[in-house]
Amino acid sequence: MATINVGISDLNVGKDTDVLATYALGSCVGICLYDEGRKLAGLAHIMLPWSKDATNPSDNMRRYADTGINELISKMCAQGTSVTRLTAKIAGGAQMFTTNSAIFNIGERNVEAVKKVLQTYRIPIIAEQTGSNFGRTVFFYSETGIMEIRAAMKPTVQL
């Protein structure tokens, strides 16, 4: 069993007994894609909703929901799956700071963007833990498709 760490604005694919892990999901969203038949798992840690809002042409496109999810799907398809075989689980999108302005609730905007992108690919979201006001760490198990969510002062949840 190998643990594959996925950093902020990053993504990776694991298979068989690999465990994909990403830490410190505050307003960011972790997207877990899974092909049960192939035991192929993918995890992306996205920071922002849309690549059209990028201000720097050399920006890391993995940070955006639209381009990050697209790249993750491409990497998984290169390893033998197809979009029609994938299911999704998502976590994160918290509102880490109190504000009355919806424009500053980047977590909610991230979750909304992730759902829209997955919908365009017709990838069903079969489990999620999003929103609220706390950070999360996600472990995604290739062997079982279980997404384990850990948070300070909260019970561990398996979806």
Catalytically active residues are 28
Instruction: In whole angstroms, give the CA distance from residue 159 to residue 154.
Output: 15
Instruction: In whole angstroms, give the CA distance from residue 61 to residue 128.
Output: 24
Sheet of 125-130, strands arranged across? 10-15, 40-46, 29-35, 87-92, 125-130
Instruction: In whole angstroms, give the CA distance from residue 91 to residue 82.
Output: 23
Q: Burial, 121: exposed, middle or buried (Cβ in 10 Å; 0-12, 13-18, 19+)?
A: middle
